[in-house]
Amino acid sequence: MTSPDQQPPVDPNTLPDPEDITEADLPAPPPRPGTEAPRRFAGTHQQIRSALTMYKICAWITGIMLLLLVFEMIFKYGFGTELYAGGTLVDGSANGLSLQPEDSVTGGFNLSIAVLIAHGWLYVVYLVAAFRLWSLMRWHGMRLLLIAGGGVVPFLSFIVEKRVHRETVQELADHPEALRRY
């Protein structure tokens, strides 16, 4: 007689031939415990929404400044001119706002250089806003690099911003339990 925790011995004649067993005959493996961690965010709903709004504003400003920078580069390297405001031209006439060859205006403000500098600093602000949103959403590192690339390629910041905004709102809606509560 066998005890309830012991099974009777298996008759070898009832077992299938091992050469006839295929992958389809095997049952699915059981799920591994603990491999699917719950989704967690690093901030509250309000913090993430605020970071998303800041990112959206920075993405639009950076995109517009990048387009201005592209036009400035076309005029500078394609036509040899820069945008000046005020000053005096070489022939002595007053300058209002015009495209002039480099160093042909004295006492004027070079708007082309202002666009270069402004875009550089606004891109840094864009990176800070992207990092804040990225860290609150706890995305992987490659996503941060893709978001950062949006401020370097013309028109890409608008596309990336729209996609990031849509995915962030969707993740917040899909995982309301993941928001940190204070």
Instruction: Tell me the pLDDT band of 2, cut-offs 50, 70 and 90.
Output: low
Instruction: Tell me the pLDDT band of 34, cut-offs 50, 70 and 90.
Output: low
* Torsion of the alpha carbons at 62, 149, 55 and 156, rounded to the nearest 10: 60
What letter would DSSP give residue 177?
Answer: G
pLDDT, one tens digit per residue, over 48-106 is 999 999 999 999 999 999 999 999 999 999 999 888 888 888 888 888 888 888 888 88
pLDDT, one tens digit per residue, over 125-169 is 999 999 999 999 888 889 999 999 988 898 998 999 999 999 999
The pLDDT of residue 29 = 79
Determine the Cα–Cα distance for residues 82 and 98; give it in Å rounded to an integer.
8
Q: Distances in Å between the alpha carbon of 91 and those of 79, 86, 106?
A: 20, 14, 11
Residue 47: partners with Cβ closer than 8 Å, 6 or more residues away: 136
The pLDDT of residue 162 = 94
Q: Is the pLDDT of residue 181 over 70?
A: no
The pLDDT of residue 145 = 93
The pLDDT of residue 41 = 80
